[in-house]
Amino acid sequence: MNPAGKGYGGRQKLPDNLKQLFRPVVMSHPDNDLIAEVILYCEGFKSAKSIGKKLVEVFDLSRKLLTKQQHYDWGLRALKTVLGGCGSVLKAARKNLLKEGKGSLDENAEKELVVQALRLNTLSKLTFADCARFDSLVRDVFPGVQFTSSGYEELTAALKESFSDLGLFCNENQVRHI
């Protein structure tokens, strides 16, 4: 409830009257592989075990290989956020499949959805140099998975139209970063 790890920025002190209501619990190191697997199964992924391990591997490699920035978080909180995003993307994909009357998703399709959710959640927080490194890491951990756009074609078109209406120069990097 109140993580006290080194360098953890989201810590809040509990008042003494609330401390009395809780027992102290220590978790030295969470089993991220198992947590990711269980959450992915709960979200509806069939290949949760292999995908969960790969997702945790991306987070571990990112922690080790990307530059150290104060706003980077490669811990359990960020992993849980990405896992929740994976579930949302999977639900949307299944809804589209039902509309089109198509079958279920295979393991490769699930991997593509996970990579899409991972990139959607993470890229906006990274520096420009780390974005390229991160994409390289994701390609190494999820070989053969194609990066798909996040589906913001309408937003992108509206942004470009607004730029032209206002007489401004449209920078593709700005549009891509939104």
Whole-number pLDDT of residue 48:
93
Q: What is the mean pLDDT of each run of 10 residues along the chain (178 residues)?
A: 56 83 82 95 93 96 91 91 94 87 84 93 90 93 82 78 87 72
Q: Which of 97, 56, 95, 100 is nearest to 75 (CA)?
A: 56
Whole-number pLDDT of residue 171:
79
Rounded to whole angstroms, the Cα distance separating 40 from 159 reads 34
Whole-number pLDDT of residue 2:
54
Whole-number pLDDT of residue 1:
52
Rounded to whole angstroms, the Cα distance separating 157 from 9 reads 38
Classify residue 62 by burial, with Cβ atoms within 10 Å: 0-12, 13-18, 19+.
buried
Rounded to whole angstroms, the Cα distance separating 13 from 168 reads 48
Q: Which of 122, 109, 134 is nearest to 83 (CA)?
A: 122
120 conformational bin, left if phi > 0, alpha if psi -120 to 50, beta if neither: alpha
Residues in the chain: 178
Whole-number pLDDT of residue 26:
80
Residue type (1 letter), 12: Q
Rounded to whole angstroms, the Cα distance separating 98 from 79 reads 29
Decide: 119 and 136 in contact? Cβ < 8 Å.
no
Phi and psi at residue 171, in whole multiples of 5°?
Answer: -95, 120
